[in-house]
Amino acid sequence: MTINVALAGAGAFGIKHLDGIKNIPDVKVVSLIGREFGKTQEVADKYGIAHVTTDLAESLKIAEVDAVILCTPTQMHASQSIACLQAGKHVQVEIPLCDVLKDGQAVVQLQKETGKVAMCGHTRRFNPSHQWVRRRITAGEFHIQQMDVQTYFFRRTNMNALGQPRSWTDHLLWHHAAHTVDLFAYQAGSPIVKANAVQGPIHPVLGIAMDMSIQLKAANGALCTLSLSFNNDGPLGTFFRYIGDTGTYIARYDDLFNGKDEKIDVSKVDVSMNGIELQDREFFAAIREGREPNASVAQVLPCYEVLHQLEQQLA
């Protein structure tokens, strides 16, 4: 059975999903939704997608569409997820699930009522580097004492990953911190019981903090120290240091090193080295098997509860 997909958001991240889906058998993108029709049509032509629109509601009316992937601006994530579930479609929404906690709670509640697969793009759960560490943890061979994480970008103007102007504003807390807050609790296997945050000045034009520092403690005693910046004019991305009882591991994207900076081969951990493709594979497998996916909206909701607490603290 082919799973027919509508993909909303033909920008930098939507294209990453289209590239990943090309490698997954029996999945077809049949509808592409974008903000600007012309640019969306160009992407659709390149990937052989028949239907193009600027209106998600139009795609949700297509009977053969089984599932939707949302790669749209953060502020739309929760309301669009709800629209997909109400239309009887499975949905995968890119991270973050929401930027207001009650909206995320509404998505989780509606998923329970509809029984549809609803998943959030917490890619770090799927990256082979982090999967390798998790296997050591679940085998009882490694326990986290501290995670030290740096999330650094250079975003003093409103640009996307392709260097193109953005129609919306990114957020260190609700987007970039969400990756690490979720990963820390997931890898520690223990809920976050303490969270603190401080932030730098608010940008006069973008209206967001450009620098932030977060401390987390899990119930089992593990710690996480997270530094985030949009002011960093240097190596970009997120770098994870796992400090544990039997070793130290450093994850840089999909590459993994030990504490002596010796590379660990993670190429055999999963069927691909592409975290986005692996995330999409899990989404479609959960639909086929009628089960809850890893990174379901219910599983990731505690992360957004922590972000909400931190937002209250910063306010």
Q: Are 70 and 35 in contact (CB under 8 A)?
A: no
Of the candidate ranges 61-75, 76-90, 158-172, the one whose mean pLDDT is the lowest: 158-172
Lowest mean pLDDT among 147-156, 290-299, 306-315: 147-156
User: What band does 164 get if pLDDT is binned at 50, 70 and 90?
Assistant: confident
pLDDT for 162 beyond 70: no
Confidence of residue 132 (pLDDT cuts 50, 70, 90): very high
Comparing 36 with 156, the larger pLDDT belongs to: 36
pLDDT category at 169 given cuts 50, 70, 90 is confident
What pLDDT sits at residue 161? 63
Across 193-222, average pLDDT: 95
**pLDDT score of 206:** 87
Q: Is the pLDDT of residue 100 over 70?
A: yes
Would you state the pLDDT for residue 171? 85
The pLDDT of 238-243, averaged and rounded, is 97
Write out the two tokens for 88: 């009887």
Closest C-alpha among 179, 186, 195 to residue 144 = 186
Residue 253 region by backbone torsions, left for phi larger than 0, else alpha for psi between -120 and 50, else beta: left
* CA pair distance 69, 56, nearest whole angstrom: 11
Average pLDDT over residues 34-54: 97
Share of the chain above pLDDT 70, in %: 98
Tell which wins on pLDDT, 208 or 307.
Answer: 307
Question: In the predicted model, is pLDDT for residue 274 greater than 90?
Answer: yes
Tokens coding 175: 């987007």
- Residue 155: per-residue pLDDT: 81
Top-confidence residue, 291 or 252:
291
Helix ranges, the chain (H) = 12-21, 37-47, 56-60, 77-86, 101-114, 128-138, 177-188, 275-289, 297-314
Q: How confident is the model at residue 108 (pLDDT cuts 50, 70, 90)?
A: very high
> What pLDDT, on the 0 to 100 scale, is given for residue 226?
98
pLDDT band at 160 (very low <50, low <70, confident <90, very high): low
Mean pLDDT of the chain: 96
Q: What is the pLDDT of residue 188?
A: 98
Flag whether pLDDT at 126 surpasses 70.
Answer: yes
Position 79 pLDDT exceeds 70? yes
Q: Any idea which of 23-37, 124-138, 141-155, 157-171 has the lowest mean pLDDT?
A: 157-171
Mean pLDDT of 179-189: 98
Instruction: Confirm if 242 and 118 have CB atoms less than 8 A apart.
Output: no
CA 183, 186, 188: angle at the middle one, nearest 5? 100
